[in-house]
Amino acid sequence: MSRKKWHFRIFCHATKENEISHKNIPSVVEEYLEQCIQAGLSEVRIVHGRGVGVQRNIVRSLLEKHPLVDSFQDASPEAGGWGATVVVLKRAG
């Protein structure tokens, strides 16, 4: 089975319509990664916004020790630059 990439993305930055508090980011990202693995995705994007880097640091702290994550890096400029993180997921199983 081939693995898909860039099929889903999650937004972790707060807007007027979307109030994700800093304390909720880890559980939201955790659930997102688990669902992406189940969907057979190999690479996903997490949009955390640029700001002062609080959400970015929370997301990356989680990714550094997450067992489903192989690697991560800033997105390309066209995909959000340092306001988004591209995550390469490990194979399920």
Find the domain containing 59 and state its range.
4-89
CA distance 47 to 71: 16
Provide the pLDDT for residue 2. Answer: 55
Provide the pLDDT for residue 1. Answer: 47
Averaged in consecutive runs of 10 residues, what is the pLDDT profile of the chain (93 residues)? 55 54 83 90 89 89 95 93 93 70
CATH classification at residue 32: 3.30.1370.110
Count structural domains, the chain: 1
Provide the pLDDT for residue 18. Answer: 52
Provide the pLDDT for residue 3. Answer: 59
